[in-house]
Amino acid sequence: TVTVSIHGRLQVQGFSRVFPFFLALIIPQKRRYFLISRGLFFVQWTLINLLIRTVSLGGNLLMNVGPTARGYLDYRAKAALKTYADWMRYNNKSIYGCTMADPALQAPNGCYYTQSEDGKRLYVHLVEYPFAFLELPGLAHKVRYAQFLQDNSEILMAREPNFMPDEGHLPSEDLLVLTIPLVKPNILVPVIELLLY
C-alpha cells in the first residue's frame, strides 16, 4: 500500500524510509488556446513559497510553461520564470543540493527548513518575517555562524537560556536566538544560512 501523508511524504507499507517526490506545476494549466481558459497563474510569493515548501519536504518542483497559439510564452509565464530567477540568484544554495532537514528539528512558525545533503548547512526560510528575534529550538550548540543569503550579512546569535523568550515560552538550555533586522530585506522570502558544527 502506498499513501501520501499530509506533509507530502510518500510512505510505502513495509518500508520505513521516506521517498522523494516531484511536484509538477503547469502554467497555463489548460492546453487549449482560448483566451478565457488561460489557466491558473500565481502571485510571486506563492511561487517561491511552493518551491521552498516542496524542497523542505524532500521533494523536487517541476515547473512546466507552455506557449501560446503563436508559439510565444505568455507574459504571465515569463513573469513566473522571472520570479524564480530573481529569487534564486541570491538564494539558490538553499534549494540546489538541499532536501528535508533533520526531522528532529522543529522550524519556528512562519519558517521552513532545508538542509544541505552533507548536513553541514541548515537554511531557514522566513516565509513570515519575524519581529526583532527568531527563536530556534534545539540549535543552541549546533550552529557556529549565521548569515543572510542575499548579502552574506552576519546575524547575531545568543545562546543564553534566559535571553528574552517570547511570552508563554519557557527558557530552554538548547534555544538559539537570532537578532533579526527590524526592516525586512528587499527580497520576497529572506533566507538565513546556518553553518553547523
Q: How far apart are CA 153 and CA 180, in angstroms?
A: 11
Domain ranges of the chain: 2-94, 98-196
pLDDT tens across 6-47, in order? 444 555 555 555 667 777 777 765 554 444 444 445 788 889
**Cell triple for residue 70?**
503563436
Q: How confident is the model at residue 72 (pLDDT cuts 50, 70, 90)?
A: confident
Global pTM value: 0.82
CATH of domain 98-196: 2.60.40.1180
The tally of CA atoms less than 13 A away on the side-chain side of residue 157 is 22
